[in-house]
Amino acid sequence: MTPEYARRLAPSFDRGKLRAAIEDAFTDLALHPHRRFHFISGVPLARRLGYVQSLLDGVPPEAVASFSGVGNPFRMGALGEGETVVDVGCGSGVDTLIAGTMVGPQGWVVGVDMTPAMVERAQQCVLSARASNVRIEWGHAESLPLPDASVDTVISNGVVSLTPDKGDTFREIWRVLRPGGTLRMSDVVVQWRIPAYVAEDMDLWTDCIAGATWMEDYPALLAEVGFVDGHIAEIFDVFAGTAIEASSMVFRARGANISARKPG
């Protein structure tokens, strides 16, 4: 099976140009978190996505100010003490630091992001939080800087929709997960198929819409890699009240919590 998202991309699609556009957008959020963006970010977004204040209390305000996501991986259950976790596309480190609190001093959390300004912001926030069980590294979702079968849980929030090669991304997540490990992620899904001409629109890519996966494709996409129990657990109207609400309504784009498991 060739997933619907892959069939939209022409061979000439410029992945380098897309990566640069994404880096520009998130560099701006890292360096100027209080600007008005075309998407919701910071504390208002965390509240919309149901983040518990007691968890946010342990995260430096400068991390929360640059927070961007489309769901809440922790609404699918708390992480276990002593777990090893990787946060793919960690941004300013909000989810990474929350995960560090959950796994405790015997656990370990690695945040990975491709935007140097976000990596620097997250590293500063880890130091500020004195989170000795957390580290931040530069890297891409398609090539994580981790050994095979080295983590218990992978979390991610709003990143897969920004990657054009989703099969490569999920195979990489599969590679670093231990047998029996879990994937708890949030991503953008669409309920109407996105035509090929939209998939070439860089602005709609950075809006997290052009690269979104058709909702009905998600379980099959995960199963193709080898995951079991893949399902969409919760939907968020993350685009309501934003500058891209009209575009999101055309394709019925939503944020979604998604979980799956690597057989053990």
DSSP 140: B
Residue 197 has pLDDT above 90, yes or no: no
| pLDDT confidence bin for 6, thresholds 50/70/90 | low
- 69-125 pLDDT tens trace: 999 999 999 999 999 999 999 999 999 999 999 999 999 999 999 999 999 999 999
**What is the four-CA torsion angle of 184, 26, 136, 124, rounded to 10 degrees?**
-130
Helix (H) / strand (E) element for 184: namely: strand 177-190
- Average pLDDT over the chain reads 93
Average pLDDT over residues 20-35: 92
Looking at 3.40.50.410, 3.30.70.360, 3.40.50.150, 3.40.50.300, the CATH number of the domain 4-261 comes to 3.40.50.150
What is the per-residue pLDDT for 180? 98
Q: Are strands 177-190 and 253-261 parallel, antiparallel or unpaired?
A: antiparallel
What is the per-residue pLDDT for 1? 43
- 131 with 158: CB under 8 angstroms? no
What percentage of the chain has pLDDT greater than the value 70?
Answer: 96
Geometric angle at alpha carbon 228, from 161 and 151, rounded to 5°: 70
Fill in the amino acid letter for 86.
V
d(CA 61, CA 63): 5
The mean-pLDDT minimum among 31-35, 61-65, 102-106, 135-139 falls in 31-35
Average pLDDT over residues 139-149: 97
Average pLDDT over residues 176-198: 93
